[in-house]
A and B are shown apart, each in its own frame.
Chain A
Amino acid sequence: MVEFFTDVAALSRLQFAITVIFHFLFVPLSIGLGLFTALAETRYYRTRKPEDKAASRFWVKIFTTTFIIGVATGITMEFSFGSNWANYSRFVGDIFGAPLAAEALLAFFLESLFLGVVLFGRKRLKPGLYLASTWVVWFGSALSALWILIANSWMQTPAGYEVVESATGGAKAQLVDFWAAALNPSTVPRYLHTVDSLVILGAFSVMAIGAYYLLRRRSAQQVAFGKRFLTTGLIVGIVTVILMLPFAHMQAAQVATTQPAKLAAMEGQWNDGPGNMTLFGWVDEANGTTTAVEFPSPGFVGILANGNADATYPGLITMKDGPVDLSNYTGPVDSVYPGGIPSVNLTFQAYHLMVVMYCLLVLWIIFAIILVRSEKHRKGKVLNYLMVFGPIVPFLAIQSGWIVAEVGRQPWVVYGLLRTDDAISMSVSAPEILITILLFIVFYAFLFVVWLRVILKMIKAGPQLEEGEAATADSSDDLKGGE
């Protein structure tokens, strides 16, 4: 245990894990809700009805409050590459920098500047321009995600580079083909898989708020909002949950063909052979065994990845040490695996948790269909409660999915090129990181509590009609910014 507290690499990983998981609570929610905010404003633009205006104002508040936390905690991520991963930054700068600069110039300015417009500019702009601003913010955030995922994907499946000696000493990756690097093998599947999951989260959050209003039934107006939110969320939810199947398949096939160690860890496969799919189980890493219930069709991973049940994959025992010649295996496409395996049980459990969460998503969609079809929502009280807690399901799916992606590629921070342990900052000491980890925990816990309180207050107050100034002013008192 003492070793952990003096291990700069382990502490840096812990700090990165804490800060990135926290950041990725708010980013998915804001990208997901951004779409619904733009949709709500589009509806208002078409109808000009006061209740649609109220709904749009409501989503703008929820969305912007969440978005700002994502922005604030995103600065941490950009700083952390240089501050905690200096050797990594030196290694990948030539490749990683371009997408990051593009993210700032092409996407981040767009979303941040127009966020201010969406938050404060309703009365100052023509309706058409205001509507455009809400879409621009969403478009900017989705574009932002693209550049970040390009950088992340390059670390998973590097392409379009060569390794050269840098002028300041040490090796570095140098760009030789921008398009090959940007559209490396995992960029497209990862982007589709990720963005779809964010919209699913948005849909489930919108449904949850709708179900909450149907439970509370404060007024006829509130029930109407509840039905509307539930229906809108459900329509988008059905589409995105169905789309997830091909997107997840693309991603899994990419892992199977380009990241054999991650695949083996996901399925707990220790020995060479066909890829069998496991349903659930436990990995004993010390003894190199997996106890699991397997999918009845043998070699199912091979069937999914390249339509061949007999395709063979290297096992974790083979890949543990040193480079492995992959040409003897019919599954993966790369020629050599550089060696090393991740924490197998963590990867295994996270992967299976994600799959279980997907099954629950389908179940929840069915619940929502039942709720919407049965006009008497009062009778579906249990289902309504389940919908209120629904967003937890996609949240867990997203977080566990990223654990698979990031833990599963260890010990490499840049697959096959740079080990995580070699990526650290040499000039930062363990006590300094311990201090900042503690500060992050305090800051982030506080931010989370305040954000939650504010959001819950907003949800409780609900969309407020502007007519009847007196009544509006009274009930929206909590929401108002003033003193």
Chain B
Amino acid sequence: MKILLMGHPNVGKSVFFNRLTGANVTESNYPGTTVDYTKGWMKIEGEDVEIVDVPGTFSLDPKDKAEEVAVAMLHESRDAKVIAVIDASKIERGLYLAMEIIEEGYPIVIALNMRDVAEDKNIVIDADRLERILGIPVVSTVAIAGEGIKELVSRLKEAKPVNVDDIIANAANTSDTESAADAGGAA
């Protein structure tokens, strides 16, 4: 099995990579630290799994050479699963890339990283609900502190391709039931 770590620049992909594989790729606090991919191995339930630290990219429409490397890596690995790493304090942009990857049919799990930074900014994310809407595992993490990494690994097997129509339907449904509940409460 092969797993790609993908996400925007400076969201912590390399930190995940090092925690997962015990490797030693450079981690820094600036976008563009990783400009080439690194491969590593880990064992999940007895199976050897290849993990790839992919350079950060904003979308699947590359605008520099590092992003080209990222998109090429994704397209070369048709049978891979993806861990989409999202900066929880900038969730919408992260979801944009995740949606693009979902639309291409890749099985995916989402790591909502830097939960601590989001909390500092008073941003609260209902991860369970996000998970129900998207139909894929969503795990809150603080990768530099190692929080949530185990849960992420244990839920990798639940990664599956999802139909975009289902997501659209789920998004519409929850907002219906929600507004219905609100209406009921008001009455």
Chain A complexes with chain B: no
